[in-house]
Chain A
Amino acid sequence: MEVAIAILTGVFFLVSIYLILSRHIIRVLLGVAMLGNGVNLTIFTAGRITREIPPIIGDDATVPLEGIANPLPQALVLTAIVIAFSFFAFLLVLVFRTYQELGTDDTAEMRDAEPEGEASPPLGY
């Protein structure tokens, strides 16, 4: 099971890196979203995958049963999903506003903050 999910995670990373290397900002954004999901799968797999016994302590017991599923990675993934989602939402708006303002989604043409062919600093006066 771990091996299969590890391969799936690899595919996620592959796709996301390919997308992030694009010049078009919307693809970069999709790549970042994929990357976040790949990381979530990584955390999930790192916690070892077992599904037979739920991590619940019964009324008549004081300790959980042997070999329960690990609940911690799920808590971590939940946190990471929330964070990744809020960042995605922010970046989506930022990208859209930038597209409206600059009229391009090509990173090579976004040169407002660092204009091309800026004059060298003065050497004397």
Chain B
Amino acid sequence: MASAKKSDVNLENAMVMADPALADWLVAAPLILGFIFGAICLMQRKNVLLQTRIALFGLLLMLIADIGLFINVWQNGTVVMTMGRWLPPFGITFAADMLGATFALVAGIVGLAGGIYALSDVDSTSRRYGFYPFLLLMLAGVTTAFLTGDIFNLYVWFEVLLISSFGLIVLGSERRQLDGAIKYAFLNLVATTLFLIGVAYLYGVFGTLNMADIARKAPALQEAEGPHFAIAIMFLFAFAMKAAAFPLNAWLPASYHTPRIAVSAVFAGLLTKVGVYALLRIFLTMFPADRDELGAVIAIIAALTMLVGALGALAQTDIRRVLGYLVISGIGLMLAGLALGSETGISGSIFYAAHSMIVMTALYLLAGIIGRLMGTFDLHKAGGLYQASPWLGALCLVLAFSVSGLPPFSGLWPKVLLVKGSIDVGAWWLAAAIIVSGFLTTIAMVRVFSFSFWRTRAEGLVEIGPISREGRIKLYAALGLTALTVIAGVYPEPFIQVSDRVAFELTHPQTYIDAVFGGNQEGGGQ
């Protein structure tokens, strides 16, 4: 087939000839593991017990791969792998910098916790209908979205995680679920389609889809013609919708309380944060100049998001819906760092994002436990838990303090960084919004605590029994995540070091560009 002439071509100009180092394969490992184990689980979906074991093993392996990747990136800097050996920007690049590796690691933890919790939360019918395959595929999609270095590829991973999440949200097919799923599905699909429109224009202007290549060419095109700013706005709109930032947040409180609690928990931990990740990547690595222009707009969105989220949480009677609004409030804080654009601010955002992924998941898991014990999620009927299980009360209080940003838990430090960053640039109103939203969150969460734990059980309701043996598994998952927030709160030094380094890399996009193109600065693009 291939003509003999081909051998005359010097392939080194166009291709990566060296085999990638073994450790570099870790960039692709979460994807490969997620898909392989997802496929095996799908084949074994009728054998519920075996399928569950395979899935948990797969989730554990993914977490180990994420840890390995994180250590590798921490020690050796950005790890790059290009598919099909084509030199960037021609091959699809996977590039794990500190931002991607950190988010992937936390996503791995959240995924495993969700998988363990589901052992006693998701019934065998739902498992036969594919809970674990969907979870594995969604986690693979989320993790790879954090690691890819190609913007069209990012779109593909968005769609992978979206279609898997559709499968998860309708498991059970209750009326509420279908209603929630309709809103979730349509609004998210419109958001990803808007993202794709942005990608189309981006390709029309830059002629490339490689993120590092775009970042490299963006300064030169800044003054040139081309709808550069319009593309940035399009991305802001699309990803703000995915992240559920105000005023595009309607889909989240309409849907997050409807599926199984394990599903809600994983969604709260992972999905909105992918939107935040994409915003950070696009506005800090690719279009830093547009971020400077849009900073004030993003700051207003951030302040409104955190306040609306916290106020929304105050107005809810269903515990799960209180948490849904708190997810939105947290998104506002992450956007605040992006709005500031300073290293302190971005560092705060990253730390807060990791904190929020862990704590929001833990809170949903906890809500599942207390909801099951009380037989209701309604605050009107809640009560009597303190007598049944004081330790559960301690757990709830720790998480309530953590999500509100009270010491000594992990919510405090990122907020300190963000407030400091705001005051440094004179944005006192942003600092005030952060503090007020924290105050409102405290009220909302302490109300949940006092109504479910301190209030005596109403007459005529069934007595609360002890936590069953299967229920303990749920407790372990929530406890594991809570331990992390306590550690990060009491000893924040290493966590701040990581987020500072992420912020440094993000504010110096040249490191990312250099890592992707290696020594081959002139290569490609011609």
Binding site for B on A (CB under 8 A): 20, 25, 28, 32, 35-36, 39, 42-43, 45-48, 59-60, 62, 72-73, 76, 79-80, 83, 86-87, 90-91, 94-95, 97-98, 101-102, 107, 110-114, 118-122, 125
Q: Are B179 and A102 in contact (CB under 8 A)?
A: yes
Q: Are A39 and B193 in contact (CB under 8 A)?
A: yes
Q: Are B163 and A39 in contact (CB under 8 A)?
A: no
How far, in angstroms, from A116 to B511 measured CA to CA in the complex? 52
How far, in angstroms, from A111 to B179 measured CA to CA in the complex? 7
Q: Are B5 and A20 in contact (CB under 8 A)?
A: no
Interface centre among A72, A87, A90, A114 (most CB of B within 10 A): A114
Q: Which residues of B contact A47 (CB under 8 A)?
A: 203-204
Q: Are B163 and A86 in contact (CB under 8 A)?
A: yes
* Nearest 10 interchain pairs by C-beta: A46-B204, A112-B179, A113-B180, A43-B200, A42-B200, A98-B178, A113-B179, A121-B317, A46-B200, A112-B175
Binding site for A on B (CB under 8 A): 3, 5-6, 8-9, 152, 156, 159, 162-163, 166, 170, 173, 175-183, 185-186, 189-190, 193, 196-197, 199-201, 203-204, 253-255, 257-258, 314-317, 379-380, 383, 447, 451, 455
Minimum Cβ distance to chain B for residue A12 (Å): 11
Q: Which residues of A contact B316 (CB under 8 A)?
A: 121
Say what secondary structure dominates the interface of chain A. Answer: helix
Q: Which residues of B contact A62 (CB under 8 A)?
A: 5-6, 8-9
Number of A-B residue pairs, CB cutoff 8 Å, is 114
How far, in angstroms, from A44 to B177 measured CA to CA in the complex? 37
Q: Which residues of B contact A101 (CB under 8 A)?
A: 173, 175, 178
Find the A residue at minimum CB distance from B159. Answer: A83
Q: Which residues of A contact B203 (CB under 8 A)?
A: 43, 46-47, 72-73, 76
Known: A62-B9, A87-B162, A112-B175. 8 other contacts (CB 8 A): A32-B190, A36-B193, A39-B197, A87-B159, A90-B185, A110-B182, A113-B258, A122-B451
Q: Which residues of B contact A125 (CB under 8 A)?
A: 383, 451, 455
Minimum Cβ distance to chain A for residue B145 (Å): 14
Q: Which residues of B contact A95 (CB under 8 A)?
A: 182
Given known contacts A32-B189, A94-B170, A121 and B379 CB-to-CB distance under 8 angstroms = yes
Contact of A97 among B159, B178, B186 (CB under 8 A): B178
How far, in angstroms, from A79 to B200 measured CA to CA in the complex? 13
How far, in angstroms, from A79 to B154 measured CA to CA in the complex? 13
